[in-house]
Chain A
Amino acid sequence: MSRVKVFFNSSVNSKIVASLAGLGLVGFVIFHMLGNLQVFEGRDAINGYASILRDMPIFLWTARAGLLAAAGVHVGLTLRLALRNRRARSVAYAARRYRAASVASRTMALTGSLLLAFIIFHLLHLTVGVIDPSAPDGLDTQGRMDVYGKIVRAFSNPLYVGIYVVGQLILGLHLSHAVSSVFQTWGIEHAALDHLFKLVGSGVALLVVLGNLAIIFAVFLGLLRA
């Protein structure tokens, strides 16, 4: 067996690497939310922000490649662990009662799969622009890509609002268990601070979800207009 195979045959190693990749993705999700909040500063701010990112193609594509790699590692390793876990209990209990396991922790594989589907949809929708192709691929008055117009158009449609709100709830559920779990997986525990570690998970999840929902509902309720 090769060294790599031996390394990843260990469930603890797989979990540590998967959590590292996952944490990279969490970092991006926070960055993405903060960047997009600039929509509240108006068309000029967010379009300018987008053009700054696009003016740095090496940075942009390195970040995209890194994210793709992190997502690939995270999905690959967690999928492998989830399949192993399923095999570890081949016969289910007839009666089952949980005392401590939260709903979020028990549905990580499900929320993770749904999240992947949502991310693919989101990329096809707002990044590549395959979904809803009638979207004006227009430029603003300064010749920059009109990200503001895209956002307003997307979230004026109740169908997309519905999909994105559900996506955010799934993201929140997944993050709340994921982030607090990282501490335990890395062996960080403390008699007094353990409670805080748990709160960090819910805190990060709440922050990201509320930030994103603010944009969606600001458009939908007409606070942000074209």
Chain B
Amino acid sequence: MKFTLKIWRQRGPNERGGFVTYSVDEVSPDMSFLEMLDALNQRLIATAEEPVAFEHDCREGICGSCSLVIDGVPHGPDRGVTTCQLYMRRFADEKTITIEPWRAKAFPIIKDLVVDRRALDRIMQAGGYISVNTGGAVDGNTLLIGKDEAETAMDAASCIGCGACVAACKNASAMLFVAAKVSHLATLPQGKPERTRRVMAMVQAMDREGFGSCGNQYECEAVCPKHVSVRFIAMLNREYLRSGILGTKMPARSDPPHGESY
């Protein structure tokens, strides 16, 4: 197969970027999208050109490292998969494919297609954890959790934090990500003691990072590689209302409690 690739190239965070067109030949239909980019990079290295920087790690759809907006859709045309699970047989031969980084003010570009997604880490540090003392492992089934709650928590916990929801949202909002984390922990007994404070702190951290607000357009759900449902956004709003009514003392410091200095 043959493709023409329009790839966003940008040398560094403060450099001007632009599209560069490459043509790739002899692409196997069984190659993944990332393997196709690997092949391009091999060629660029051989001709002493700078290879295209893109993020990847596990290449089996669970780490949340890969990104790429492919022809205007985060993670490309297939639903429920990450870019590493997208295969070239999905594209028509001799097609032109546009490849862009996630675009959001909260995700500044580091180089080419690599963006800084630490804003999501900082939201997690604000409240995406439970405070428990470490010690011996608790016996199984000492804390019974209903099947429904376990399923709901698991559906929310399937979020891999790739940021496709932010990339797809017209407002670059991180609501689906925050909703998944808040819902996951608020559903389980281990997360309940801190649920009031958690939702307040995580939403505050989200707003602080410069993400937009939710417009209830559900574009996030449509591109989520893990099919995280927008029902969790309603659950987040409900948790937030609940916390507002019950009242909670926010930590006085504006920096996240587990914050590292970047």
Contacts and interface: CB of A to CB of B under 8 A. Distances in A.
Q: Do A and B bind each other?
A: yes
Interface of A: 9-16, 81, 84-85, 87-102, 105-106, 108, 177, 180-181, 183-189, 191, 194
Q: Which 10 pairs from chain A and chain B are nearest by CB?
A: A187-B238, A88-B212, A11-B213, A189-B234, A101-B217, A85-B171, A97-B72, A95-B72, A85-B212, A187-B237
Contacts, number: 126
Given A11-B203, A96-B72, A188-B238, 7 more contacts: A84-B212, A85-B171, A89-B104, A97-B73, A105-B215, A187-B235, A189-B235
Contacts of B207: 9-11
B218 A100 contact: yes
A105 B173 CA distance: 15
B71 interface: yes
A192 to B, nearest CB: 12
Nearest to A89: B172
Given A10-B203, A88-B106, A91-B103, A105 B72 contact: no
A108 B221 CA distance: 20
Interface of B: 6, 8, 19, 69, 71-73, 98, 100, 103-106, 170-173, 203-204, 206-207, 210-219, 221-223, 230-231, 233-241, 244
A7 to B, nearest CB: 9
Contacts of B6: 94
B98 A92 contact: no
Contacts of B210: 87-88
B241 A186 contact: yes
Contacts of B100: 93-95
Interface-centre pick from B69, B170, B207, B240 (highest chain A CB count, 10 A): B170
A181 B213 CA distance: 13
Given A186-B237, A187-B234, A88 B173 contact: yes
Nearest to B79: A99
Interface-centre pick from B6, B171, B221, B233 (highest chain A CB count, 10 A): B171
A211 to B, nearest CB: 26
A89 B105 CA distance: 5
B105 A87 contact: yes
26 contacts: A10-B204, A10-B207, A12-B213, A12-B240, A84-B212, A85-B170, A88-B106, A89-B103, A89-B172, A90-B105, A92-B103, A93-B100, A94-B98, A94-B100, A95-B100, A101-B217, A105-B216, A184-B233, A184-B234, A185-B237, A186-B238, A186-B241, A187-B235, A187-B237, A188-B234, A188-B238
